Amino acid sequence: MHPLTPESLKELAQLATAPCLSLYQPTHRSHPDNRQDPIRFRKNVETLGASLRLVHPDADVQALLAPFHQLADNEDFWNHTLDGLAVLGCAGVFRVFVLPRTLPELVLAADSFHTKPLRRFLQSVDRFQVLCLSRDKASLFEGNRHGLAEVDLAAPVPRTSSEALGDQLTEPHQTVSSRGGIGQGSSPLVHSSGGKKDEVDLDADRYFRALDRAIFEHCSKPGGLPLLLAALPEHHHRFQQASHNTFLLPEGLEINPEALDIHALSQSAWDVVQPQYLARQQAWGEDFSTARGKGLGSDDLNEVAKAAAEGRVASLLIEDERQIAGRLDAGTGRVESAELMDPTVDDVLDDIGELVERMGGEVRVIGSARMPTTTGLAATFRH
């Protein structure tokens, strides 16, 4: 299995050599439902083989499918799947991604990898992080509407206040005065300007500042995901005051995160994030409509493909489950219709999305209900 990151998708695009095999299918987490998963996988591999043999010798087909067959026979793997599986392979390359999200079944042999489902999973539109915080310890979770998983924090991120502060404790400020004169026989009185609570609060503030810096540097900035804070009200206030993390949402969960199991935490977090998720998608549609009104937007496949090849597409919306079979000439943007069973043919929407990203544009994959067009794509041009 391989971690799914934006960098891993870029690496796949660089390593791809035709023919590229892409296999997606839903899977199950537990027995007895997961018993059917390897059976379905083998049938999908057979479909890949049938497509490849249309234009490739049998020996080459067997070599390409060998790692797929090995995975099908790996009983331990099939006992540890989640909700979705993506397997991509070509000569010298084999990547397996296990995802906590159901994926539509798709089997495709083409000149490039089909990565649209993976890009949708990665994009920040419906992904977020949850920082579960108490006065002296923290944990981080990442996920989307379908669930959360705990993040293995990098070493520089302090999980506890002792990791951040070491053995140093904040001493209460003290002053000394005397009562009853000076000299032998007089007893100095020690006045503390701070008590035990002041000391604990100071340590909490120091820990929160150190944690905030580390979370921003090692988690928020690399991933670019919204960060939701789950903590008791008093810790919410202190952390929000200490934080300089631009990804931290003003709204959060004012709860004791340790009182919730992972499923309850996931649902509560999504209830907070969902309104922003929907508002963001609506704003994208409105931005496209405004741009099209100024002559800087289009939902015409051929026009968008040509603009993508010229590097003029600033942002592109793609319908997640729509497929348009064809070949895309990345140099000219010319689109040629064809059948998906042909192992030189891919989903043109996926290919245009990859081309836009290579040219520095932004690609967002969204559901059909939120698309501002009915053609499967909507592009906003730079000029």
Structural tokens at position 256:
């004791």
Distance CA 144, CA 168 (A): 38
Report the interhelical angle of 233-242 vs 196-215 (nearest 10°): 60
The 10s digit of each residue's pLDDT in 49-68 is 999 999 899 999 999 999 99
Mean pLDDT, the chain, integer: 87
Length of the chain: 383
Least Cα distance to 130 among 239, 268, 5 occurs for: 268
Please say if the pLDDT value at position 194 is more than 70.
Answer: no
Mean pLDDT, residues 98-107 taken together: 88
DSSP structure string for 62-87: HHHHHHHHHHHT-HHHHTS--SEEEE
The 10s digit of each residue's pLDDT in 329-365 is 999 999 998 776 666 667 899 999 989 988 999 999 8
Mean pLDDT, residues 80-86 taken together: 93
**Neighbouring residues of 102: CB distance < 8 A, sequence distance ≥ 6:** 26, 83, 84, 146
Strand, coil or helix: what is 299? coil
The 10s digit of each residue's pLDDT in 157-180 is 999 988 888 765 454 433 344 444
